[in-house]
């Protein structure tokens, strides 16, 4: 939090990565453990000094109506907590939507919503929270109005609504923002995360750019985002960050104007560069991200990796920056990630005077 507050340099640079390949069966952590000769008792996040964890309850509209509708050896069909009917192949991390709860616009007036303070939404994490907070800098999380509205309306239909009926789209986004804000405020309260804050996860872009124009974002989504930010700040959240994959560059001015205090994961492969963003916005935007897990790290060229990591680290002494490559998958060699770790440790020694916990 010293770093995210843009205070003088801390003892070392904070780090945040996840070591998952989303159900491919060849997780980076498994390969790492095998190559290092470590047993299951060795925690990869401890080994690499990962500092942040993100915690979220069940934020769906209707978790009490969740049910399994059909189950076979090949797939399972369920109604999830958003009211979607989905099919998931056995062992697959992703699913195929079959039916959404908001088939007609008029359904928005009658859609079922369970209370935000429903204890079962948070039970999975309630008992673990004390231990998690002793180990990590924990942030609460909710989804955002764009991505979560797509769960109840469908991806294509939601974008069609934005183009054909912006008034309805804006109404849906605000409905969703009000629901999500209640969830987030409850997370902050029951997990006592006011001293860190909350991240809004609202994926809205491809590597080429946002799925909608800045004008559409300002007219339809900005009021919904603003509602959530205001609710979280009024509840005492120290920081409100935005997570979105892809190239959200055309929307950065809007995000700063409405009060987002930081960004994640700042995808280099999508055209976002932490040095450029720092030069443009200064201490108005903290950043957690910047390392390229799509091209540079998988390619593994040592000189290319060195130049890329050192460019990210060039803004670290100013504060407001946590180095992060999003997900470390099996396409990244353990030796390459160890080299990244070596570069970060060298920065900690030479620039910050830190000598502890080196691998």
CATH code of the domain occupying 28-62+104-352: 3.20.20.210
The count of other CB atoms within 10 Å of the CB of residue 80 is 21
* Tens digits of residue pLDDT in 53-80: 999 999 999 999 999 999 999 999 999 9
Q: What is the signed CA dihedral for 95, 96, 98, 99, rounded to 10 degrees?
A: 60
> How confident is the model at residue 285, as a pLDDT?
98
Q: How many Å apart are CA 146 and CA 159, to the nearest integer?
A: 10
Give residue 358's pLDDT. 62
pLDDT of residue 10: 83
How does DSSP assign 127-164, residue by residue? TTHHHHHHHSEEEEEEE-HHHHHHHHH-HHHHHHHHHH
Place of tokens 């915690």: 55
Q: What does the pLDDT read at residue 131?
A: 97
pTM over 0.75: yes
Residue 330 · residue 323 · CB < 8 Å: no
Residue 107 and residue 149 in contact, taking contact as beta carbons nearer than 8 Å? no
Token readout for 48 is 């690499």
> Which residues of the chain, if any, have pLDDT below 50?
none
pLDDT at position 359 is 60
Nearby residues of 117 by Cβ (< 8 Å), 6 or more positions away: 186
d(CA 31, CA 330): 7
**Ranges of CATH 3.20.20.210 domains, the chain:** 28-62+104-352
């Amino acid at each position: 939090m010293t770093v995210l507050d843009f205070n003088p340099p801390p003892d070392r640079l904070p780090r945040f990565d996840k070591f998952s390949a989303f159900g491919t069966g060849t997780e980076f952590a498994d390969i790492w453990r095998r190559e290092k000769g470590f047993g299951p008792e060795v925690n990869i996040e401890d080994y690499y000094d990962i500092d942040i964890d993100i915690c979220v309850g069940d934020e769906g509209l209707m978790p009490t109506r969740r049910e399994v509708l059909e189950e076979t050896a090949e797939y399972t069909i369920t109604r999830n907590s958003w009211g979607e009917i989905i099919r998931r192949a056995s062992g697959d991390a992703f699913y195929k939507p079959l039916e959404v709860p908001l088939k007609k616009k008029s359904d928005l007036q009658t859609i079922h919503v369970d209370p935000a303070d429903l204890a079962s939404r948070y039970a999975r994490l309630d008992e673990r929270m004390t231990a998690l907070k002793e180990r990590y800098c924990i942030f609460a999380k909710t989804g955002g109005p764009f991505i979560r509205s797509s769960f109840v309306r469908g991806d294509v239909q939601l974008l069609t609504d934005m183009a054909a009926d912006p008034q309805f789209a804006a109404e849906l986004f605000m409905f969703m923002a009000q629901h999500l804000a209640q969830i987030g405020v409850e997370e902050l309260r029951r997990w006592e995360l006011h001293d860190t804050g909350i991240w809004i996860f609202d994926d809205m872009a491809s590597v080429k750019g946002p799925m909608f124009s800045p004008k559409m974002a300002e007219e339809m989504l900005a009021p919904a985002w603003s509602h959530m930010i205001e609710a979280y700040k009024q509840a005492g959240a120290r920081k409100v960050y935005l997570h979105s994959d892809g190239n959200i560059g055309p929307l950065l001015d809007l995000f700063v104007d409405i009060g987002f205090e930081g960004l994640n994961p700042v995808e280099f492969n999508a055209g976002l560069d932490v040095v450029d963003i720092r030069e443009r916005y200064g201490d108005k935007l903290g950043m957690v991200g910047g390392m390229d897990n799509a091209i540079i790290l998988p390619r593994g060229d040592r000189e290319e990796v060195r130049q890329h990591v050192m460019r990210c680290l060039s803004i670290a002494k100013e504060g407001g920056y946590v180095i992060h490559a999003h997900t470390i998958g099996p396409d990244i060699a353990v030796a390459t990630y160890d080299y990244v770790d070596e570069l970060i440790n060298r920065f900690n020694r030479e620039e910050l005077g830190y000598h502890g916990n080196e691998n």
